[in-house]
Structure 1
Amino acid sequence: MKVEQIYTGCIAHAAYYIENNGEAAIFDPLREVQPYIDRAKKDNAVIKYVFETHFHADFVSGHLDLKAKTGAEIVFGPTAKPNYEATVATDGQFFELGNYKIKVLHTPGHTMESTTYLLIDENGKEHGIISGDTLFIGDVGRPDLAQHVIADLTQDKLARYLFHSLREKIMPLSDDLIVYPNHGAGSACGKNMSKETTDTLGNQKRTNYALRPDMTEDEFVDELLTGLTTPPGYFPKNVIMNLMGYQSLDDVMKKARHPLTADQFEMIAEQTQALILDTRNVNEFAKAFIPNSINIGIDGSFASWVGEMVSDINQKILLVTDFGREEECMIRLSRVGYDGTIGYLEGGFDSWKNAGKQTDSFRRITGEQLEQILQTEDLLLFDVRKRSEFDSEHLIDSENIPLNQLLANITAFPKEKPFVVYCAGGYRSMIAASILKQNGFDNFVDVSGGFNEIAKTTQLPKTAYVCPSTLL
């Protein structure tokens, strides 16, 4: 059976392209739809369907633009109530794609409309399941996202729906089926996803904690809900966009593709109170940057961190990028619903310097330099990694304020005492540093190589969090 996974690593997302006999279907497309259209053209195929496994929270789907550009029929599973023309399928309904068949399996739990699509080849053999966020490799979808959109749902209720969906719809299927999930490791839609992006259902039955056959419903709920972190703030906003509709990406890009001279850039920044978002490498940013800009590097989990750190999804944005990467940054912002880009600095940061505009800079130190400084100075240490990373190992006497909680805890950072910020490798600490600078903090440094470098190159004392129960 012809199934192609189209994986986008920066947001750990998998879309799927299926084609048979001149008809194609796209499952859970990203917002930039031209690559799917080009793929179908290569096969001389017509895109007949756009299947959605659920209303996504972590990205804005391309289903509406695909329908507008190709005439494809949008299909959701049972109980979905989109605010636009789409087919809401019934449980067990079949769709024909050439000589293939696609069967709808309603699998609520991650969300109420969550649906798994069973793929059946031209010989009538069941080939695999496109499982959306119902079943991942090594994990299942977190059940606490839809409750932020639908008031009478709780994560406990959704977890119990998911328990029954897995046991009544998924686990009875044949072990040789291939599981095609919507996400892999790095996605915030689960907590324990594998780096592998496909597997057999049989192997998942043997290895996935959530599919243990002897697990009771209460045990499942308890294990699934334990360890869930707060979902990113932009998730509910993406759900609403996918549910209600959104502006065409073509229109968003037309507004964003606006090259600005340094003078124009400066004037618009002052007049509109737009956020200056610098997407360059952290080391380049530290050397010199536009005052009050924040740094979220494009060569990292860019879109996810924008979603975490920029609370207003409608925020007007001015971009500073490496030359030639302007459009890439615009698209990656729009993937998570940030459609407010109103222009970019033409010629990159060099054009700002060449115009003689004011710049700021930021001091970074190595792990070895930190060790030397701490021999004579008493500095406060702030670790901006996730709590789980901090608990695993951290510098003694450091305080953990995860990056996504930095703004809520900004008063914990002193303005009268010098301090140090570090993360794992320097990417997140520079996001933190730029935001702290924007908020008036000047008396601190960050560690360029982060905790990884500190652990390798210094003898600074480290410790791990010890759960009190282990002391009994």
Structure 2
Amino acid sequence: MIIEQFKDEFLSHYSYAIVSECEQKIVLIDPARNPEPYYEFAKKFDAQIIGVIETHPHADFVSSHLEIHESTGATIYAHSLTGAAYPVEHFDEGATLSFGKIKLTSIHTPGHSPDSISVLLEHDGKAKAVFTGDTLFIGDCGRPDLRESVGNLQAKREKLALQMYHSLRDKLMVLDDEVLVYPAHGSGTLCGKALSTANSSTIGAEKISNWSLQEMTESDFMKALIADQPFIPKYFGYDVDLNRKGAPHFKAQVNQVEVIKQPEFEALNTAVIVVDARPESDFKEGHFPGAVNIVYGKKFETWLGSIIRPGEHFYLTAANSDQLEELIHRAASIGYEPFILAAFVTHSGDVFMPVLPLECFIANPEEFTIIDVRNENEVKKKKIFSHSKNIPLGELRERIEEIPADKPIVVHCAGGSRSAAGSSIIAAEFGAITPVYDLGAVVKDFGNSED
């Protein structure tokens, strides 16, 4: 038996291939949008992918379960509460899937969502590992507030938090201490708030170190779980529904994105937003009117799906063709590739952003309107400028009218990447009226931590 873990570092997502070497068969758990790595892995063992298990309809990435089924004939397994619109074999509590010396058993573990399952792996009759999806993470557990208004089955966070309390204690903590824990996410995901950087653990180790498995009352657990959860990007609900239906084939979709030479601005539809992924320094020296600077980096798809609404068309541009191709693929990982009206490489533009007069700002910060685009829980922990106004980046386009135009505007975050996007959004609205400045990485000189 072999357990192979795959990682999408940008979305902090783990997926798995379980190999029966004696039968040369593979079952996948929670595969990412691009199925090619799993096909290549199967070729190494000359093995057949016979099944795909979805622990729940994911909010933060698009799964390739339907494509794998259509391409290989593999059976898709999911809980009946999912309300799947794709061909599925229900994998409810106690259901099993056996191949070779391996038996996979479904454990219904609601809490992150009503339809969440964990999958217990037994080899030669002994429990070896549990794939916990978004129920149990290393150091944390899944958030309970993502299914209040999306999915075929919705539930309030309080109800799901209570279910999470019992799923952890009645379903997972009862497993043997040596059982390996393989979650669907690691540190950096927005599906939890305090995940470890480790990519696996054991039930015994989690009982000792994971806050959510410690002895506490239902009420105390629920309060702790609900408090201070990360923000919810706009795309999360869209992805839940797309995963419940099943996404189109990855290659066919990304190949449909039109890649063109850098156009003149007049050739673009001015009603369509331009997502410019170049470094902030390049963007400030010249960009298209109304462009938003979502910088190429580890969090590109998170901010793309937080600023651009599902269904909203946009142009995508980057510094070079390699980055452009990568970003098209990364947009597809959250299901945004159909919204790319065209993609192209940009070297310059007609719109410039002014350089902040830093000495003046330091000496007289009250003469500037300061917009803090960090999330509310970050501001609660530490407010950097006493008179700043907090509008989280993911809400900025919808709340732009709250920003006064009577003074120059300075935008900041925690380390510079979010303020690049935030200042570009505000400049598109106010740039002709009042100067808009990006404080950028200089914010670190004011005693703040990195983005």
- What is the TM-score with the length of structure 2 in the denominator? 0.92
Residue of structure 1 equivalent to 2:116 = 114
Question: Which of 62, 65, 79 is residue 63 of structure 1 equivalent to?
Answer: 65
Report what 1:162 is aligned to: 164
Alpha-carbon distance between aligned partners in 2 of 1:38 and 1:387, rounded to the nearest angstrom: 43
Aligned residue for 2:404? 414
Deviation at 1:372, TM superposition (A): 4.5
1:232 is displaced (CA, Å) by: 1.9
- Give the match for residue 440 of structure 2: 448
- How do 1:153-232 and structure 2 match up within 5 A? 153-212=155-214, 214-232=215-233
SS across alignment from 2:10 = helix
Q: Distance in 1 between matches of 2:119 and 2:329?
A: 28
Determine whether 1:18 maps to 2:18. Answer: yes
**Aligned ranges 1:67-146 → 2 under 5 Å:** 67-121=69-123, 123-146=124-147
Alignment check: 8 A CA contact 2:139 2:195 kept: yes
Structure 1's unaligned 5+ residue stretches are 457-472
- Given that residues 78 and 91 in structure 1 are in contact (C-alpha distance below 8 angstroms), is that contact kept between their aligned partners in structure 2? no
Give the match for residue 321 of structure 1: 318
- Give the corresponding residue for 1:305: 303
Following the alignment from structure 1 to structure 2, what is the Cα–Cα distance between the partners of residues 305 and 230? 11
Report if the CA contact (8 A) 2:52-2:74 is conserved: yes
Residue 49 of structure 1 is matched in structure 2 by: 51
Given the superposition, is the C-alpha separation of residues 241 and 126 from structure 1 closer, same or farther in structure 2, using an over 3 Å criterion?
Answer: same
**TM-score scaled by length of structure 1:** 0.88
Distance 1:61 1:450, change over 3 A: farther
Q: What does residue 383 of structure 1 align with?
A: 372
Q: Deviations over 1:57-95 (max 9, x none)?
A: 111111111112211111113422201101111311221
Aligned-residue offset at 1:421? 1.0
Question: Aligned partners of 2:436 and 2:199: how far apart in 1?
Answer: 41
Paired residues of 1:5 and 1:16 also in contact (CA < 8 A): yes
Gaps of 5+ in 2: none
Structure 1 equivalent of residue 291 of structure 2: 293
Shift of 1:397: 2.6
Match of 1:102, SS? strand
Asked if the contact 1:255/1:343 (under 8 Å) is kept, the reply is no
Cα pair 2:134 2:185 within 8 Å, conserved: yes
Q: Deviations over 1:137-157 (max 9, x none)?
A: 111111111221257621111
CA distance in 2, matches of 1:79, 1:262: 47
Indicate conservation of the 8 Å contact 2:52/2:76, yes or no: yes
**Alignment check: 8 A CA contact 1:139 1:208 kept:** yes
Count of residues in correspondence between the two structures: 440
Question: Any residues of structure 2 matched to 1:336-415 within 5 Å, and which?
Answer: 336-338=334-336, 339-345=338-344, 348-350=345-347, 353=348, 359-365=350-356, 370-375=358-363, 378-393=367-382, 394-415=384-405
Matched AA of 1:446: D
Distance 1:302 1:76 in 2: 30
Q: How does 1:423-438 map to 2 (within 5 A)?
A: 423-438=413-428
Task: State the AA in 2 paired with 1:215.
Answer: M
Equivalent position SS for 2:295: coil
Shift of 1:56: 0.6
TM-fit CA distance, 1:395: 2.6
The percent of aligned pairs where both chains have the same amino acid is 32
Once the two structures are superposed, what CA deviation does each residue of 1:22-75 show, in whole Å capped at 9, x if it has no partner? 111211111111111111111111111111100111111111111122111111
Deviations 1:410-446 (A, max 9, x none): 1232222112111112110010011112223341211
What secondary structure is seen at the aligned counterpart in 2 of 1:196? coil
Contact 1:386 1:403 (8 Å CA) reproduced? yes
Alpha-carbon deviation of 1:263?
A: 3.8
- 1:462 counterpart residue number: none
How far residue 340 of structure 1 moved from its aligned partner, in angstroms, is 1.4
Q: What SS does the corresponding residue of 1:15 show, helix, strand or coil?
A: strand
Cα distance, 1:407–1:268 mapped onto 2, change above 3 Å:
closer
DSSP 3-state at the match of 2:27: strand
Is this contact kept in 2: 1:320–1:344, CA < 8 A? yes
Partners of 1:305 and 1:263 in 2: CA distance: 25
